[in-house]
């Protein structure tokens, strides 16, 4: 058993608490990882807020991390101690009907136990002050050591800087893949990206790499426009600057609507606007943001009858074990940006400050 520091969420709505936790050794088909770097994501904040119906407490959150394999359980063949890895919140078992289907990346092998905050055998590897602590998204990267299923880990280039590539564990991969895999953006097309946080910037990067000729960024926070243009946005607008709904503004700006739109916020009203900003006959709108539990989307069915398509994406459609190492290679060869997404680097004990910076859009 390893004793180490972890940021524990004891209950919903309270700041994370830095505690000494015990991390049990990996069982069969499990991997224990020394986490070197982790990022914070709105999904962690959503669960911490108490709004997530799958949220279990006390829990160690975090799902964008990178580290080194410390030890492996019986039957683990794909990684060994010393390997550099990224934990995966969407695993890839290679055996379930989802893994065998090229149309999806949603491996279901450990979905039920992962959703309950437990390892595949129905137990936890974390204890603190004598209490069982739940896992989160199968990863729990807010701990100096974590244990994950062997199908939830990608071995990556040992030379990769872990404080950067940890971002490929969720946000960057999600946005970049939404453009390339889900929308399949084409050269010369016009795109609109709603929400210019990390995921939105990654969508812009994907649209640019795919050869889009016009990429319109939409956000209320104008401080984000300069960064969006660095990533490839051709122009940025704020819905507050117009008297009419933003979808009408976009339809006018683009002679009938955009070819592709992306909602990167998790707001059902914006999801509707993103669909209705699409061009009749062929426009495709991709939902990337995760809305709160129980919320519903609406539009007039005529929007779809007249040839628009509404799609969703999880982790950018990437088959995780196969593709995360390739994304790291693309970053190492400078095909995709990663460093530019990092605004602040903080010590682990300032993790609550990291959440405050995220909530203020900084």
Q: What is the arithmetic mean of pLDDT over 23-39? A: 98
Residues 75 and 144 in one domain: yes
CB 35 within 8 A of CB 141: yes
Report if residue 11 sits inside a domain. yes
Q: Which residues contact 254 (CB under 8 A, 6 or more apart)?
A: 190, 192, 214, 216, 279
Report if residue 357 sits inside a domain. no
Taking the C-alpha atoms of residue 235 and residue 1, their distance in angstroms, rounded to an integer, is 53
Residues 154 and 17 in one domain: yes
The helix (run of H) or strand (run of E) holding residue 300 is none
User: Could you tell me the pLDDT band of residue 135, with boundaries at 50, 70 and 90?
Assistant: very high
Report if residue 280 sits inside a domain. yes
Residue 348 in this model has a pLDDT that exceeds 90? yes
Beta strands 17-23 and 235-237, pairing class: unpaired
User: For residue range 247-293, what is the model confidence (pLDDT) as tens digits?
Assistant: 999 999 999 999 999 999 999 999 999 999 999 999 999 999 999 88
Domain containing 159: what range? 2-169+319-352
Residues 98 and 165 in one domain: yes
Domain CATH for 281: 3.40.50.720
**pTM for this prediction:** 0.96
Domain CATH for 84: 3.90.180.10
Residues 278 and 336 in one domain: no
Report if residue 358 sits inside a domain. no
- What's the pLDDT score for residue 293? 85
Residue 361 in this model has a pLDDT that exceeds 90? no
CB 291 within 8 A of CB 267: yes
Phi, psi of 158, deg, nearest 5:
-65, -20
Residue 149 in this model has a pLDDT that exceeds 90? yes
- What's the pLDDT score for residue 53? 83
User: For residue range 301-345, what is the model confidence (pLDDT) as tens digits?
Assistant: 999 999 999 999 999 999 999 999 999 999 999 999 999 999 999
Q: Return the SS3 of 278.
A: strand
Residues 205 and 247 in one domain: yes
Residues 242 and 145 in one domain: no
Total domain count for the chain? 2
User: Which region among 9-23, 49-63, 104-118 has the lowest average model confidence (pLDDT)?
Assistant: 49-63
Query: Can you tell me which residue has the tokens 């998790």?
Result: 266
Local structure of residue 57 (DSSP, 8 states) = S
Report if residue 160 sits inside a domain. yes
Report if residue 359 sits inside a domain. no
* Plot region of 293 (φ>0 → left; ψ -120 to 50 → alpha; else → beta): beta
Per cent of the chain over pLDDT 90 is 96
């Amino acid at each position: 058993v390893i004793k180490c520091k972890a940021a524990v969420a004891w209950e919903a709505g309270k700041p994370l608490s830095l505690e000494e936790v015990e991390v049990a050794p990996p069982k069969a088909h499990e991997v224990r990882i020394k986490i070197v770097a982790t990022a914070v994501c709105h999904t962690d904040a959503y669960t911490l807020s108490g709004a997530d119906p799958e949220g279990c407490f006390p829990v160690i959150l975090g799902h964008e991390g990178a580290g080194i394999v410390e030890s492996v359980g019986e039957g683990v063949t794909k990684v060994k101690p010393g390997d550099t890895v990224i934990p995966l919140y969407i695993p890839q078992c290679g055996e379930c009907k989802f893994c065998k289907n090229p149309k999806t990346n949603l491996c279901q092998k450990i979905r039920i136990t992962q959703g309950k905050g437990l390892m595949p055998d129905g137990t936890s590897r974390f204890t603190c002050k004598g209490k069982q602590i739940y896992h989160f998204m199968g990863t729990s990267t807010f701990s100096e050591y974590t244990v994950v299923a062997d199908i939830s880990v990608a071995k990556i280039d040992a030379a990769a800087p872990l404080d950067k590539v940890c971002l490929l564990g969720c946000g960057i991969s999600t946005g970049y893949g939404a453009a390339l895999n889900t929308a399949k953006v084409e050269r010369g097309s016009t795109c609109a990206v709603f929400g210019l946080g990390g995921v939105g910037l990654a969508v812009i990067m994907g649209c640019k790499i795919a050869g889009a000729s016009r990429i319109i960024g939409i956000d209320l926070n104008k401080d984000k426009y300069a960064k969006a243009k660095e990533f490839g946005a051709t122009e940025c607008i704020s819905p507050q600057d117009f008297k009419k709904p933003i979808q009408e503004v976009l339809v006018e700006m683009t002679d009938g609507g955009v070819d592709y739109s992306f909602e990167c916020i998790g707001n059902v009203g914006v999801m509707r606007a993103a669909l209705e900003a699409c061009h009749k006959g062929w426009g495709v709108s991709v939902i990337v943001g995760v809305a709160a539990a129980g919320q519903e989307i609406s539009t007039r069915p005529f929007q779809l009858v007249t040839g628009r398509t509404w799609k969703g994406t999880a982790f950018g459609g990437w088959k995780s074990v196969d593709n995360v190492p390739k994304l790291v290679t693309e970053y190492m060869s400078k095909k995709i940006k990663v460093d530019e997404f990092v605004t602040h680097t903080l010590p682990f004990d300032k993790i609550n400050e990291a959440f405050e910076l995220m909530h203020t859009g900084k």
